[in-house]
Amino acid sequence: MATFKIDPAHSDIEFKVKHLMITNVTGSFASFDATLEAEKEDFSDAKVSFEADVNSINTKNEQRDGHLKGEDFFAADQFPKISFVSTGISKISDDEYKLTGDFTVRGNTKSITLDVTYTGTVVDPYGQTKAGFEATGKINRKDFGLSWSAVTEAGGLVVSDEVKLLLNIQMIKQA
């Protein structure tokens, strides 16, 4: 069984949500951890676990980040972590997978499926084996208790319910 740990210096955990229904606001998490275990070299039997620190959220706006950490959204004091634990993986093609798992936000757990592209494995100049992946998915934030909403004067939503997940991940094989 090969075990890989995420390389935080070469990975991005991002999300996008429509603001005023005309533009996307992008946010990310600066503090996270992930483990991938697989016996097969093509990762077709991979088991993945992931955790992000809600207090590390960054949307390039301190006031908005504070609002997101608060009771209206993540309630970071009560629920400091977001997590994903895979429950299954399906290989679609040589480099495409569907990764299904339990996603937990604010104490609410739902099954989600991510589209994963395996971008390759390489040995870096320091002799470490690294594997790359890109994963995307969508969730409805209200499914996870993130139900705060506001309406503009014109009657439009301030924040959409759909949240896009975008993960660019580099994993390091453990000795």
Least confident of 3-17, 21-35, 45-59, 98-112: 21-35
Tell me the pLDDT tens digit for each residue of 146-172. 776 655 455 544 567 888 999 999 999
CATH number at residue 93: 2.40.128.110
Domain span at 14: 2-173
pLDDT at 89 over 60: yes
State how far the Cα of 82 lies from the Cα of 76, in Å rounded to an integer. 10
The reported pLDDT for the residue numbered 21 is 63
Q: How confident is the model at residue 20 (pLDDT cuts 50, 70, 90)?
A: low
Query: Structure pTM?
Result: 0.91
Q: How far is residue 149's CA from residue 39's CA, in Å, rounded to a whole number?
A: 45
Cα separation, 32 vs 51, whole angstroms: 6
Is-contact 30 11, C-beta < 8 A?
no
| Domain total of the chain | 1
